[in-house]
Amino acid sequence: MEINSKEQYEKFIGYIDEYLPERAESLKNMYNAFGKRLLLAPASAIEHYHNAFPGGYLDHVLRVVDLAIKLYDFYETNGMDLSGFTKSNLVFVAINHDLGKLGYVGEGREKYIPNDSEWHRKNMGKIYTYNEKIPFAITSDLSLYTLQKFGVEVQWEEYLGIKIHDGLYEEGNKPYYISRMDSSSLRTNLQYIMHMADLMASKHEYRTWKNIKEGKVEQNPNKIVNTKDNKKEESNKTLEEFRQMFKSS
């Protein structure tokens, strides 16, 4: 898959400037603290999850932001309830929902590191492995921790949007999504929109991987250059690229 890091970075910063001008400085300071990791991190460790390749994180985040905005506009066009939050609140959540996947600030503190085991990469699709040198944290918890560490103000609906964006895939989210009383139901649709945008993006990315694995060409929207015939060669090449990238980050 062809990823234009410069173009994607500019788009990412553009979203911050356009939708979050009052928090732009603190958000940029936070992301700058991660250095090249923002551009190089994957979105997951396993190829059949989604975007387990260098740059996969930013590619995923931008797709989620795009889908969240489109879903917001769909709600608005169809007269659906958008009370209690703004498009800017939604964009803030979409931009930062997976922030914890970047790990902790500091050298050698990334969450995902290249997997040196050829067997696990080839037979189990474990392109990356988890960095055992950093404290374990659920992604959403680490996202929220990092935001507060850099003094980024987070409103309650935004906090909840980040915290439960994985929907019922996380058991701990169940009380928020399945309520027996009206008084304990979610007060806005922000969390539902955010979960749907993330789910749609992840499913698209999975299908892209599936098409590559089966030697097909994805027609939309990214350019797919990998085929089944050169998958092994690409895998070996990618591992070496991972090592070099992490050395220079």
Domain assignment of residue 161, given as a range: 5-248
Residue 173 identity (one-letter amino acid): N
Q: What are phi and psi of 128, to 5 degrees?
A: -120, 165
Inter-residue long-range contacts of 219-223, CB under 8 Å, 24+ positions, other chains counted: 222/1, 222/2, 222/3, 222/59, 223/1, 223/2
Task: Please say whether the beta carbons of 99 and 143 come within 8 A.
Answer: yes
pLDDT the model gives residue 180: 84
> Is residue 218 pLDDT above 70, yes or no?
no
Residue 4: which pLDDT band, with cuts at 50, 70 and 90? confident
Maximum CA extent, the chain: 56
Taking only the tens place, the pLDDT of each residue in 57-103 is: 999 999 999 999 999 999 999 999 999 999 999 999 999 999 999 99
Q: Is 114 exposed, middle or buried (0-12, 13-18, 19+ CB in 10 A)?
A: buried
Please tell me the total count of domains within the chain. Answer: 1
146-156 average pLDDT score: 98
Whether 238 has a pLDDT exceeding 50, the answer reads no
pTM of the prediction? 0.84
pLDDT tens digits, 169-209: 888 888 899 988 888 899 999 999 999 999 999 999 999 98
pLDDT, residue 217, reads 57
Specify which residues 129 forms β-bridges with: 113
**DSSP label at 223?**
P
**pLDDT at 231 > cutoff 50:** no
Cis peptide before 221 (omega within 30 of 0): yes
